[in-house]
Amino acid sequence: MKKILNYISVIIISLIAVSCMDYGPKNESDFNYYDGNGLFIVNEGNFMYGNASLSYYDIDKKNVENEIFVRSNGIKLGDVAQSMVIHNGLGYVVVNNSGVIFTIDINTFKIIDIITGFTSPRYIHFVNDNKAYVTDLYGSKIYILNPVTKKISGSIPVQGHKSTEQMVQSGKYVFTNCWSYDNKILVIDSENDIIADSITAGIQPNSMVIDKNNKLWALTDGGYQGNPYGHDIPSLLCINTSDFKIEKKFDFELNDSPTDLCINNSLDTLYFINKSIWKISTDAAQLPDAPIIPYKGTRYYGLAVSPKNSEIYLADAIDYVQNGKIYRYTAQYVCIDTIDAGVCPSNFCFKLK
Q: pLDDT truncated to tens, each residue of the chain (353 aa)?
A: 323 333 333 334 334 434 444 445 556 788 999 999 999 999 999 999 999 999 999 999 999 999 999 999 999 999 999 999 999 999 999 999 999 999 999 999 999 999 999 999 999 999 999 999 999 999 999 999 999 999 999 999 998 898 999 999 999 999 999 999 999 999 999 999 999 999 999 999 999 999 999 999 999 999 999 999 999 999 999 999 999 999 999 999 999 999 999 999 999 999 999 999 999 999 999 999 999 999 999 999 999 999 999 999 999 999 999 999 999 999 999 999 999 999 999 999 999 99
Report the run of H or E that residue 12 belongs to, with start and end: helix 2-16
Q: What are phi and psi of 71, to 5 degrees?
A: -70, -30
- Is omega for the bond preceding 121 within 30 degrees of 0, making it cis? no
Identify the pLDDT of residue 82.
98
Query: Cβ distance 97 to 91 under 8 Å?
Result: no
According to DSSP, the β-strands at 205-210 and 194-200 are unpaired
Query: If you write DSSP's letter for every residue of 114-149 in order, what string do you get?
Result: EE---SSEEEEEEEETTEEEEEESSSSEEEEEETTT
CB proximity list for 122: less than 8 A, separation 6 or greater: 82, 83, 94, 96, 134, 135, 136, 137, 163, 164, 165, 166
Query: If you write DSSP's letter for every residue of 222-285 in order, what string do you get?
Result: -B-TT-TT-B---EEEEEETTT--EEEEEE--TT---EEEEE-TTS-EEEEEESEEEEEETT-S
Spatial distance between the Cα atoms of 272 and 88, rounded to a whole number of angstroms: 29
Spatial distance between the Cα atoms of 188 and 171, rounded to a whole number of angstroms: 11
Report the run of H or E that residue 63 belongs to, with start and end: strand 63-65
CB proximity list for 304: less than 8 A, separation 6 or greater: 39, 262, 312, 313, 348, 350
Query: Cβ distance 111 to 73 under 8 Å?
Result: yes
Q: Is 183 helix (H, G, I), strand (E, B) or coil?
A: coil
Among candidate residues 111, 87, 13, 56, the one with its CA nearest the CA of residue 342? 56
pTM: 0.91
Identify the pLDDT of residue 258.
98
Report the run of H or E that residue 64 belongs to, with start and end: strand 63-65
Identify the pLDDT of residue 188.
98
Spatial distance between the Cα atoms of 214 and 239, rounded to a whole number of angstroms: 9
Tell me which CATH homologous superfamily contains domain 85-343.
YVTN repeat-like/Quinoprotein amine dehydrogenase (2.130.10.10)
Identify the pLDDT of residue 162.
85
Identify the pLDDT of residue 119.
96
Query: Cβ distance 144 to 193 under 8 Å?
Result: yes
Identify the pLDDT of residue 26.
58
Q: Burial level of 28, CB count in 10 A (0-12/13-18/19+)?
A: middle
Identify the pLDDT of residue 299.
94
Q: Is 221 helix (H, G, I), strand (E, B) or coil?
A: coil
Spatial distance between the Cα atoms of 180 and 177, rounded to a whole number of angstroms: 9
Spatial distance between the Cα atoms of 83 and 96, rounded to a whole number of angstroms: 9
Spatial distance between the Cα atoms of 188 and 174, rounded to a whole number of angstroms: 5
Which residues partner with 302 through β-bridges? Answer: 315
